[in-house]
Chains A and B, each alone.
Chain A
Amino acid sequence: MKRIIPYFFILPLLLLIFLFYIIPAVSTVYISATDMGRSLKGNFVGIKNFTRIFSVEDPVIGRVLLNTLVYLSGALIITIIGGLLLAIATTTLTNRWGSFFRIIWFLPRATPPVVWAFLWIWAFDPSRYGLLNMIFNQIGLQGRSWLTLYPMAIVILANGILGIPYTMTILSAALSNIPLEILEAAKIDGASGWRTAVTIKIPLIWWPLSFLIIWYTLSFLTSFQYILMITGGGPFYASTPLALYTYNKAFQNMELGYGSALALVLIALSVVIILAFRKLLGVKRET
């Protein structure tokens, strides 16, 4: 009886995992082998959906994969470097000022996603009502079609900046745990702020930093809601990463079979990138 009781307690959780993870995952694999459409009924088509992807029969697949890498790299760099710099800066200040700036920088995270997206749309609106164009007009410059000219840069910024608050908070906590005597010893030895950051602080927070890199890699690979709202992935696929393309195929064109195949490719790509990062970053928690 004693052996059974623990299983009884974890049963609800197992059921939830089965319902909301195992069943959808298996369903996705099944659907990817069908031509399921709007009626949610499909015929078995084997690996046809995958050959359509890998034979580059779909003319935008190459472009979409390249966009995914550009978007991931750009957003990740902004999130990690921005969060790290802010964490170092705010932990260098007094507690009161450090907290004040951390709260200010946390505001984007506290903003509802739709509001955040609309702020970016408003800022870069091509008409004279757009914030940037208003400023340009005030100083006598011609307004620009920002979303058409720099769609990828804008979605990278919008997503990258949104990652900064969380990164800053985690890294600030990690930096606060560095023993003061180590930092004071460095100071006595004449180490500059920059050198202290590079040779002492960053190595000592390497584990949380690696965790954040992997966490945000997964997040940027799979999330697309801000891109959908800000640029819609356009113009002409210029800001469409694989996650958004998968969504469009599955729910705009109602090609659920092909969309599921793309989703599986996205998962495989995520696994490969995560494994590469683990190796590259040497992610091993010291015991």
Chain B
Amino acid sequence: MRKIVAVFLIFFLASFVLSSTGQKEELKKGPVSIKAWTIGPGPVPVLRAKNLKTAGEELNADGLNLKLDVTFSTQKFGPYRTSFSLAYNSNSFPDILGEDQDIIPEYAEEGMILPLDKYVKAGTWKSNFKDFLPGMWNAVAWKGKIYGIPIEAVVNCIYYRKDVLRKLGMSDSDIAKAFSPDSGQFTLANLVKLAKKAKDAGLVEWGFTHRKGAGDYWFNTVMMFGGKFVDSVTGNMIIDTKALKKDFAFHKMLVDEGLLPKDMASWDWKVIHEYSVDGKTLFWIGGHTGQWKEYQQKAYSIKYGKVTEAYLEKNMGIAPFPGIDGPVTPVKVHAYTLVSKTKNPDLAFKLISKASSPELLARLSITTFRGPTRKSIMKLKDFKDQKYLTKVMQIMKYAKAFPKHPSLGKYKNMLFEAMVGIETGKLTVEQALKFMIAKAKSDIPGVIIR
């Protein structure tokens, strides 16, 4: 028995020494270059890049020899993606790419990013894998394979003005009840009623404002009306005529009632946020929870410039969308992905794995006020100290996954054009629907009209 134990120990020791020597040999070769691209938009999420740098420093301190080149882009997603396409076909491609979940299917279909299943489902990563919130892995998966590590959740929401509602005679408890998804009062019809009241009383210029240009907002309201985007059986995109018709009619009604400006889609961003932060609109429905931070960092307010957290706390609140089948909080995941041409996938994964630690992701959430992706983040003191993030977590209870499909970008553009047509009075609801169907048939292969 002693002999067996001795042989085992010698074998174990020898393999340990050999493997250490091997690692040292690898390190002697010099630093391994890892290039990463991350994107804002805007300066707030710069930590998406800084976290990678921190992770790299930690790995180097652990004995690795990485030479990191991290680029943070403040471009819009369109030019960022075009740059990536060009870089992918040249020798300047990054090893790591920070991206939103909606593009993952397109990149996956084109073979531009790597499936990460062998890493994230490995035994050593099991506890990490389980630590992610429900739905997070599904958000970055395509055709059963996982293509990214979710680092933050863009939580789309409605901002409402408490100060305006108080002027309408509502007490703080009335307001809380009106926006509590469990109260039974939180309905779209009630929001419209409140907007009309506030507008008629001259308390706001507009009842509702939304974002400009093609973006997430246009999906949010389709989701609010129970719309579906992708057929679960065939994987093809769906034109959900029932939901789209309701969505178009809703926006047309808002414009006709004078609650939404007909030229909303062409407003300047600065003016859009000024109206929200200065209370010139009752409901800002085109944003996400991160704007709570943005309003404290950028001087959007005419009256106050940058506003304080106390001001926001006193005058504004966040809520999910009052969907027809219950509250809806559309959540879009941002992830680190690995580019398929990388020569160092193992090291690149080590880096994104380290950069996705609960501590670093908590730092990201606290800075950007976007939602967390891991359960353990919520247990960290720094995270728990943020009162606002607790509210974000409350509306994340109603999280509904953002759609994903390789043709989603085309769908988004045509939906935006149709909605602008409706709001500017250039299209009726029927014409907009007809346009969506015809354009989808032309642009999206295999689209299902339902």
**A234 vs B416: C-alpha distance in the bound complex, in angstroms?**
10
**A236 vs B89: C-alpha distance in the bound complex, in angstroms?**
34
What 0/1 pattern do residues 35 to 47 of A give for CB contact below 8 A with B? 0011111000000
| A88 adjacent to chain B (CB < 8 Å) | no
Report B345 CB to chain A, min CB distance, Å: 18
**Residue numbers in B under 8 Å from A126 (CB-CB):** 261, 263, 266-267
**Residue numbers in B under 8 Å from A41 (CB-CB):** 110
| B447 adjacent to chain A (CB < 8 Å) | no
Given contacts A252-B413, A253-B413, contact A38 B112 (CB under 8 A): yes
Q: Does B268 contact A125, Cβ atoms closer than 8 Å?
A: yes
Q: Does A251 contact B112, Cβ atoms closer than 8 Å?
A: no
Given contacts A235-B421, A236-B424, contact A127 B271 (CB under 8 A): yes
Q: Which of A159-216 contact B (CB under 8 A)?
A: none
**Residue numbers in A under 8 Å from B193 (CB-CB):** none
**Residue numbers in A under 8 Å from B263 (CB-CB):** 126, 145, 147-148, 235
Task: Select from chain B the residue with minimum beta-carbon distance to A124.
Answer: B266
Q: Which among B369-377, B390-398, B434-442 touches the partner chain?
A: B434-442
**A38, A236, A238, A251 — most chain B CB neighbours (10 Å):** A236
**Residue numbers in A under 8 Å from B111 (CB-CB):** 39
Q: Does B420 contact A234, Cβ atoms closer than 8 Å?
A: yes
| B85 adjacent to chain A (CB < 8 Å) | yes
Q: Does A39 contact B112, Cβ atoms closer than 8 Å?
A: yes
Report A64 CB to chain B, min CB distance, Å: 12
Report A10 CB to chain B, min CB distance, Å: 31
| A254 adjacent to chain B (CB < 8 Å) | yes
Report B9 CB to chain A, min CB distance, Å: 52
Q: Does B268 contact A253, Cβ atoms closer than 8 Å?
A: no
| A98 adjacent to chain B (CB < 8 Å) | no
**Residue numbers in A under 8 Å from B81 (CB-CB):** 38, 254
Q: Which of A22-56 contact B (CB under 8 A)?
A: 37-41, 52
Q: Does A127 contact B424, Cβ atoms closer than 8 Å?
A: no
| A106 adjacent to chain B (CB < 8 Å) | no
The bracket for how many chain A residues form the interface is: 20 to 34
| A272 adjacent to chain B (CB < 8 Å) | no
Task: Select from chain A the residue with minimum beta-carbon distance to B436.
Answer: A59
- Number of B residues contacting the other chain (C-beta, 8 Å)? 38
**Residue numbers in B under 8 Å from A251 (CB-CB):** 78, 82
**A39 vs B93: C-alpha distance in the bound complex, in angstroms?**
12
**A251 vs B268: C-alpha distance in the bound complex, in angstroms?**
23
| A277 adjacent to chain B (CB < 8 Å) | no
What 0/1 pattern do residues 268 to 289 of B give for CB contact below 8 A with A? 1001000000000000000000
Given contacts A148-B424, A251-B78, contact A236 B262 (CB under 8 A): no
What 0/1 pattern do residues 245 to 268 of B give for CB contact below 8 A with A? 000000000000000011101111
Task: Select from chain B the residue with minimum beta-carbon distance to A251.
Answer: B82
**Residue numbers in A under 8 Å from B107 (CB-CB):** 38
Q: Does A57 contact B424, Cβ atoms closer than 8 Å?
A: no
**Residue numbers in A under 8 Å from B409 (CB-CB):** 252-254
What 0/1 pattern do residues 81 to 92 of B give for CB contact below 8 A with A? 110011011000
**Residue numbers in A under 8 Å from B298 (CB-CB):** none
What 0/1 pattern do residues 395 to 417 of B give for CB contact below 8 A with A? 00000000000000110010001
Q: Does A59 contact B442, Cβ atoms closer than 8 Å?
A: yes
**Can you pick out 8 interface pairs between chain A and chain B where the beta carbons lie within 8 Å of each other?**
A40-B86, A126-B261, A129-B268, A248-B413, A251-B78, A253-B409, A253-B413, A255-B443
Given known contacts A58-B442, A126-B266, A232-B213, what 17 new A-B pairs fall within 8 Å (CB)? A38-B106, A39-B110, A40-B86, A40-B88, A58-B443, A59-B442, A126-B263, A127-B271, A145-B266, A231-B266, A234-B266, A235-B420, A235-B421, A235-B426, A254-B85, A254-B409, A255-B443
- Residues of chain A having any CB pair with chain B under 8 Å: 37-41, 52, 57-60, 125-127, 129, 145, 147-148, 231-232, 234-238, 248, 251-255
